[in-house]
A and B are shown apart, each in its own frame.
Chain A
Amino acid sequence: MKVLKIGALWCSGCLVMVPRWKEIEKENPWLETTYYDYDSSPQVVSEYGLEEGLLPTFIFLDKDGVEVHRLSGEVDKNTLLELVNKYRES
């Protein structure tokens, strides 16, 4: 599985999420994540239909690159960990 993290420089919630993800990634070295800046990644924004809504957005992809889950806003660490474990094998 893979997690796409979409945030922006101007988004306070995105900055809040940075240390949370750092902790999760440290605790789960197998986890693959990629960060996309909202303003410098128009392709990703368009591909995942992120023109409107909330930031940050986290998209969980399975091993085939198919979206299995999406979250927006400030999410607590436990919820993220639950999802990471749930989709680990997918």
Chain B
Amino acid sequence: MVSMGLLQKLIKNTTFLFLIWAFIPKTYTETETNIHLFYSLTCGFCKKEVLYLEEYVKSNPGVTVRTYEITGNKENRRLLSYIGHEIGLDIRNIPFTVIGDEYFLGFGEKHKNLINEYTEKAASDNSTDFVENLINEKNIKVRYDTIKYENVVGDTALSNGANKDNEQNISSGDKAEEVKFPLIGIVKLKDLSLPLLTFVIALLDGFNPCAMWTLLFLISLILGMEDRLKMWILGLTFIIASGLVYFLFLAAWLNFFLVVGFTTILRYIIGFAAILIGVHYLNDYVKNKDKGCQIIANEKRQKVFQKLKEITQNKSFALSLIGIILLALAVNMVELLCSAGLPAVYTDILSMSNLPAWKYYSYLTFYIIIFMLDDIIVFAIAMITLKAIGIESKYTRFSHLIGGIIVILIGLVLIINPEILAL
């Protein structure tokens, strides 16, 4: 009887304890899981992932997020390169996330599920912490911030991280979107979205009536033709071929930055280059009050004019077309040497945006359309009115003033606070 009573008590108490245990929030103290996130200060998707992970650790207290900034930290870059070597992947893009022995590139909706899946997997089968093991094995002195449940609840995440020795945290407060410049005041550069930035830089880069001398030559020659359709085709072919050369030039810059764009030194170089370009434009605004076109080298001009004459007077239209394409390629290739600055600044910023390839090339196409806009307008008006027209240089001066200021601001941001350019 005594034993029966004891048994009943035991069952009762056990049931009670079980019920209590069932309603106690799980603390996961027994299974700690690390999420390793490699990011850069200029990467918009990294920001989004950090914000998501801040929320994620609130409901998953057993999870610790370690964030490794790779732009300014050589050792963190070394670790990422080791990881790439180990898994046989050329890691060129970020964010890059490793959980246990699983990993993924980029961040979007589908990755939220992966975070959940990999974290549960790592917690349930106690899988090895691949990154942690690699750090110990290679003895890499990495530096990371942490996002943990106790740091996040009731406060901001990364600013409370365990290794709070990095001044440029990835936190996403409003102040990070503003930059205060002397004389100008606070500028909300976040408002300069990528399309607007593309528009402004392309306009500044392309809007130069004096640079359209070859097109004006061509217009003067084809205006004498009788066949309107041929006029349109020859002119448009020249414009499209010229645009194509510039597109390839921009694409080369973009791919260069996508491959080696992680380094701080490159960011500084591009930042200083942008400031110099901006100063050059402002100088041009102040000095070129006469608003005329500089006389260009006689020999080069005569050569191009002669070639254009031969091309347009050729009896075979197909040969004329080929000739105009080749001439456009040749003339524009030479001009590229003088115009490396703005394309470099623009594609550097574009490469920070972590976009899919088709979006990168869409932006480049948009850039080219704006870049060629003055040529398109001048050509279209000439073809419709059968009169060659020029664009007043005062508009160029105005675009140099506005554009020069914007490019200087971009240069300063690249040097001081590149995080803002993660558009």
Q: Which residues of A contact B389 (CB under 8 A)?
A: 15-16
Within 8 A of B (CB), among A9-61: 9-16, 38-39, 50-57
Interface of A is mostly: loop
The A-contacting residues of B in range 376-402, CB under 8 angstroms, are 378, 388-394
Residues of B bordering A, CB below 8 Å: 209-210, 212-214, 216-217, 220, 290-296, 301-302, 305, 378, 388-394
How many Cβ-Cβ contacts under 8 Å join chain A to chain B?
78
Are A12 and B295 CB-contacts (below 8 A) given A74-B393, A74-B394? no
Q: What are 7 residue pairs bridging A and B, where the CB atoms are less than 8 Å apart in the complex? A: A10-B296, A11-B292, A13-B291, A15-B388, A38-B295, A54-B294, A73-B291
Q: How far is the CA of A57 from the CA of B220 in the complex (A)?
A: 20
- Whether A55 and B301, one on each chain, are in contact in the complex, defined by CB atoms closer than 8 angstroms, is no
Contacting residue for B302 out of A13, A39, A54, A73, CB 8 A: A39
B248 shortest CB reach to chain A, Å: 25
Report B-chain residues with C-beta under 8 Å of the C-beta of A14: 293, 390
Question: Once the chains are docked, how many angstroms separate the CA of A57 from the CA of B291?
Answer: 11
User: Residue A90 at the B interface, CB < 8 A?
Assistant: no
Identify A53's interface contact among B210, B295, B301, B390, CB under 8 A: B295
> Does chain B have a CB within 8 A of A85?
no
Across-interface contacts of A72 in B (CB, < 8 A) = 290, 292
Task: Please tell me if the beta carbons of A39 and B301 are within 8 angstroms of each other in the complex.
Answer: yes
Residue contact A55 to B295, C-beta cutoff 8 Å = yes
Task: Give the contact-size bracket for chain A.
Answer: 20 to 34
Instruction: Add 13 more A-B contacts to A9-B217, A74-B393, A74-B394 (CB < 8 A).
Output: A10-B214, A10-B305, A11-B292, A11-B390, A12-B210, A13-B210, A13-B393, A15-B389, A16-B391, A39-B301, A53-B295, A55-B293, A73-B291
Q: Is A15 within 8 A of B393, CB to CB?
A: no
- Residue pair B217, A73 in contact (C-beta under 8 Å): no
Interface centre among A9, A12, A51 (most CB of B within 10 A): A12
Question: Known: A16-B391, A54-B295. Contact between A11 and B290, CB under 8 A?
Answer: no
Contact B220 A12 (CB under 8 A): no
Do the beta carbons of A73 and B295 come within 8 Å of each other? no
Chain A residue with Cβ nearest B216: A10
CB contacts (< 8 Å) of B305 on chain A: these are 9-10, 39
- A39 to chain B: which residues have CB within 8 Å? 301-302, 305
A13 and B301 contact, Cβ closer than 8 Å, known pairs A55-B293, A73-B291: no
Are B293 and A52 in contact, with the CB atoms below 8 A? no
Chain A residues, CB < 8 A from B210: 11-13
Q: How far is the CA of A74 from the CA of B393 in the complex (A)?
A: 8
Chain B nearest CB from A72 CB (Å) reads 5
In contact, A56 and B214 (Cβ under 8 angstroms): no
Nearest CB in chain A: distance from B293 CB, A: 5
Looking at the complex, which one of B213, B292, B393 makes contact with A10 (CB distance below 8 Å)? B213
Chain B residues contacting A53 (CB-CB under 8 Å) are 294-295
A52 to chain B, nearest CB (A): 6
Contact A10 B290 (CB under 8 A): no
CB of A12 within 8 A of CB of B390, answer yes
Contact B292 A56 (CB under 8 A): yes
Question: Top 9 nearest A-B pairs by Cβ distance?
Answer: A73-B292, A15-B390, A54-B292, A73-B290, A12-B209, A10-B213, A12-B390, A16-B390, A74-B291
